[in-house]
Amino acid sequence: MFGKGHVGWGISTTPHSLSLFAGGIARKPALVDGRVEPREILDLTVMFDHDVIDGAPATRFVRRLLELIESGYGLEREVPVRAVR
């Protein structure tokens, strides 16, 4: 996000109970099928207002969010283009 080798962070100034910040993508070692391999990793920061949201449901939400992002949920597969008549 800020260039190679730099990291950033965000401070929520909104009155919302959930804030999500997408950071930069960096190449880092990751565990894949029991092996350490270089992967591109997206940094995400999720902030909750703990006066409104308890830690356990927040953790379940973030876990499910990561599952959906990692699986590519919602991304359509390539659809053949039909000829226009």
**53 lies in some domain:** yes
Q: How many helices (H) and strands (E) does the chain have?
A: 1, 2
**35 lies in some domain:** yes
**48 lies in some domain:** yes
**Does pLDDT of 54 surpass 70?**
yes
The total number of structural domains in the chain stands at 1
**46 lies in some domain:** yes
The boundaries of the domain holding residue 66 are: 18-71
pLDDT bin (cut points 50, 70, 90) of residue 33 is very high
**58 lies in some domain:** yes
**60 lies in some domain:** yes
**7 lies in some domain:** no
**2 lies in some domain:** no
Strand pairing report for 18-32 and 35-48: antiparallel
pLDDT at residue 60, as a whole number: 94
In tens, the pLDDT along 15-24 reads: 778 888 888 8
- Residues 63-80 have a mean pLDDT of 82
- Residues 76-82 have a mean pLDDT of 68
Looking at per-residue pLDDT, the higher value among 12 and 47 belongs to: 47
